[in-house]
Every structure is written in C-alpha cells, then in structure tokens.
Structure 1
Amino acid sequence: MTPFLKLKNLALGALLLGGIGMMASCSTNDNNGSNGNARLQIALTDDPGDYREVWIDVKDIRINVTDADDQNWTTLPGVHPGMYNLLDLVNDKDTVLADAEIPSGRLSQLRLVLGDNNYIITNKGEKLMLTTPSAQQSGLKLNINQPVIGGIINKLTLDFDVAKSIVKAGNSGKYILKPVIRAVLEAVGGNIKGIVLPDTVQTAVLAIRGTDTIASTYTAAGGYLIRGIDAGTYSMHYLPVDTTFKPFVKDGVTVTLGRITTVDTVRLQKK
C-alpha cells in the first residue's frame, strides 16, 4: 500500500469516528458562510469554592441585541437545561450550555434563568438549599456589549465565582445564591472554506496537521466549511466518494484566529 493510500485510509477512519453527521447537514449557504449568521456557544466554568459540591438548576438562556431592558428578549435556541455541579468545572474545565446560530452583529445582554433546585453540599456532607433573591427570578442579567462575528464560532464563557456567589444569611442557617459571573466573549480558532469541482461529486475534506486529522467535513453542492480550528498551517486532503476521481492534497493552508481562510477552488481529475 502506498503512503498516500495509508494516509487516506487513516484520514477516512478519523472522519467517520469524528462524526460526519454534523458536517453532512450543512446547507450550501452555511458552507459559503454567507447567511449572515454567527455561531454562539455559551460555556460555564467556575472558580473554586469551599464546598464539596455546588449545584445550579439551569432552565433557560435569553439574549438581547438591543439596549432595552424590558423588551426584545429572546430564548437562545440550542440551550441544554439541567443540573450542573460547578465544582466539576474548575481548573479551565467548562461545559457547553448552548450552541446556536444567531444573527451576526452585537450581543448586548444575556439572562441566565435558574430554577428553584439550587443547593450546596458542604464539606461535612450536609445538603443546604440556596434561595434566590426575588429580583433575580426573571434571570440574572449580564451586560455583554460585544460583537458576534458571522462565519466563525463565538464562545461566551460564564465564569462563576462560587466563593462570592454564595452568601450566608446571618445566623438563620440559610444560604442565598447571588451569582457573581464574569462573561468573556472570544472568537474560537478560525474557519476554512472553499469549493470542490465538479460540485456533483461529494468529497471528504480533511484538515491535517502533521499526522493528525484535526477536523473534517463533506462538501454539499461543492461547498465546504470547517469551523473553529486552531490557528496554524494545515495540509488539506480532498477524498472524493466517487473513486473514479483522484484524491487531491493542498499544503500550506494557514488559519488565523477569528478569520475565514478561503482555499482556491479544487478541481478533481479523473483517474
């Protein structure tokens, strides 16, 4: 077996294991990055606190692209409601609360809506419920006031400060949840897009660095888009499903943080 065929088989295996479903579902507009939308991920992380466990009950996330506090709030699609132990998310760990397409532009505000089932487990093993001030029952409002960029992944990390967020109410034995959260919005990696002709031939597209397949996708109507990969230089491998066409390799494709790299059109040749 030739070295290229070995690489091809390894790459195709990585593509299948990596989950091609999310890639094959891309529309032509999405592949070209021209639909005016931005991808927004909401992640939750935590600074350590002096408890064994801290559980919060996430119900909803709402966003506002205007400055009006009392209107224009919309529920963010793709929210993952549920119970989250904040102390599982320390030391640079995080979990994705939402992954959604929103109109590109400016994200003004966000509301994190919590339910009533918030509690802590103390170092002695006691379970103590956390009460939430009535002013926060409509959701904790965070001012973001930053642009979300179309065509790339915008990751908003909610850094929950446990030590400052849990307050003991005098000698009553009650604990109050007053979330102190720092919101950090950043572009995640860069994107690679391009076109493969003939556009009737579905083609696997792999971004390879060294011997590792970093990301992969399939073409749809000839177009492809690989999102949110680390900045650096990649070798692009094009593996047509129709084996009467030759594979193609393009080296030296550079990805820049927060930008879309457009690769020259690839024209597949018959064997």
Structure 2
Amino acid sequence: MNLKFPLYALALGAVLSLGSCSNDNDSSNSSKLEVRLMDAPGDFQQVSLDVRQIEVHLKDEGNPDGWQTLPFTAQAINVLDYVNGRSALLVSTDFAPGDLKEIRLILGPDSYVIGTDGQRYDLKTPSGQTSGVKLRLDKATLRQRETFQLLLDFDVARSIVERGNWKAGNDKKERYLLKPVIRVVAQDINGGLRGTVTPAAALPQVLAIRRSITPADTFSTRADASGAYQLFGLPSGTYALKYFPTTAAPTGQPAYQTKEVGGVVVVNNQVTTVNPVSLN
C-alpha cells in the first residue's frame, strides 16, 4: 500500500529512538510493529526534524479514542542521513494483533535546515499544530507472530517551502516553511529462520543481526532442550547469527564456544533453514 499525503499540521511531541531492537518471537503470540523513516535527497546540507512522539489510531477515523502512544525517546534527526536505501528505525515494539487506522507524528518547535550557504534556517510550521501530522492507513493489519512495518518516506524537496517574499538579509527564521509530504509504505514482514545447535546442553542464546541498516536490527531467541531454535517476523535481508552458551560444559569436557555464522539470507514469506552449528 502506497499513500501520499501533504502534512500541514505538525504538532511535535515525542519520538524516534534509533537504537537496535531485541525480540523473542518464539515465545510470544503478539505481533511486532516497526516504524521506519527514510528520505528523498534535497538541496540542503542538513535537515533536522524535531520529532517528539508517534501515535497509532486503533479505531475509525473521527473517533477521538483509540490513540496509542508508541515507545520512543524524543530527539532530532537529520533526515538526509537516511537516503539511498538507508532508513532510521523509529519504533520496534511488541504490539497486540489487530487493525491500525492512522499514524500520527508530533513534532516539536526546533526543526531547522542548513542551506548550501552553510547558514542555519529555522523551519516554521503552519497553524493547526496541536493535532499532529496524521496519515491514514488502509488495510494495515497486524497478525500474531508476524512483523508489520510502516515506512515513512519523507520528501525533503517537496516538504520544505521557501517563502516567496523572503530576501537575503531578512530574518533567517522566516525563510522556510515545513509542510511535510510523506509517502507511507505498509507491509507485512514474515520471513523466518530455524536451525539446531549442539550440544543441546549449552542452551545457547541465538542472536540474528542485520547490519545492512543503521542502526543494526537484532532479534533474539534461545534454543530449546533439543537444541532447536526458530525466529519469525524477520525483515528480508542478510543476517549474521551469533550463538552464546548460557551453561558451562561438564567437568572434563571441552568448554562450549561462542560461534558466529554469517551470510544467512532471509526472504519474506519464507523460512530459511540454517545448517547445524556445533559449539564444541
């Protein structure tokens, strides 16, 4: 689903923790929700968005109830860091299965750009900022043991508008308006992987790390008593798997070793079987 909306109401309130995520899909029947931000390049040295909060709406449009705040740390983001396929991970959280109707961004007052002249210009937003930037979602359904991703594609060139009557020497705060245009791409993410570890007595923790994005995604689970493990709801990509024993080898036997296996490819709607790994 691709939707494009002009965003004229930017009340800034709370978001963007860009840290890596940890998830144990093997022990939960919940869904996982990801929100990512990427950008189309623009003619600026830097575009800093003051993002304060992200919310999703679980009920029909117009119903004031049903808004749920997602877990974030408010911060400024230079969206030009996330072009040419790179994306910023804003949200990665367990979430109850069900339908999402809207997503809302709340921005703070401290957004700005640095122009090609090296000067900083504050970004002004139009009136009506209290309600935030709302984007409708069509058929956005989270299912058990699957990951659902909302990719917010921010168009810098169309979102930052220069005032027609601004001239060099005028107040820098009055040069640009921020009228965001964001394309929303919503998709189910349900790739998976499975494998076995020996000896099973090592009871290792298994990390699947996707380093092709910034920051890296990290998903985790533990092998069961038979040495088997599996992870679901993984985005497509190439992963490194790390195995960390959580028990010590019996006296007189070789110590269990930490191992890493690279180049594990995960494809959406498929489960990749990993070759058996020995920790001896």
TM-score of the aligned structures, taking structure 1 as reference length: 0.67
CA spacing shift, 1:107–1:224, aligned 2, 3 Å: farther
* Alpha-carbon contact 2:202-2:245 (below 8 Å) kept: no
> Shift in Å at residue 226 of structure 1?
2.1
Q: Paired residue for 2:46?
A: 53
* Alpha-carbon contact 2:58-2:68 (below 8 Å) kept: no
Q: Percent sequence identity over matched residues?
A: 34
Correspondence for 2:268 among 248, 253, 257: 257
Higher fraction of helix? 1
Flag structure 1 segments of 5+ consecutive residues without an equivalent: 1-20, 208-213, 248-252, 267-271
Find the residue that maps to 2:56 and give its secondary structure: strand
1:219 aligns with 2:223: yes
1:112 aligns with 2:105: yes
> Shift in Å at residue 254 of structure 1?
9.9
Q: Which runs of 4+ in 1 moved over 6 A?
A: 198-201, 220-223, 237-240, 260-263
* Alpha-carbon contact 1:32-1:224 (below 8 Å) kept: no
Q: Paired residue for 2:60?
A: 67
1:160 aligns with 2:154: yes
Q: Paired residue for 1:95?
A: 88
Flag structure 2 segments of 5+ consecutive residues without an equivalent: 1-20, 167-173, 209-217, 257-263
Q: Paired residue for 1:147?
A: 141
* Alpha-carbon contact 1:190-1:231 (below 8 Å) kept: no
Matched length: 227
CA spacing shift, 1:221–1:181, aligned 2, 3 Å: farther
Q: Paired residue for 2:78?
A: 85
* Alpha-carbon contact 2:33-2:93 (below 8 Å) kept: yes
Q: Paired residue for 2:176?
A: 175
Alignment RMSD, CA only? 4.1
* Alpha-carbon contact 1:111-1:141 (below 8 Å) kept: yes
Whole-Å separation in 2 of the counterparts to 1:189 and 1:180: 29
Q: Paired residue for 1:129?
A: 122
Q: Paired residue for 1:185?
A: 186
Q: Greater RCO between the two (CA within 8 Å, min separation 6)?
A: 2
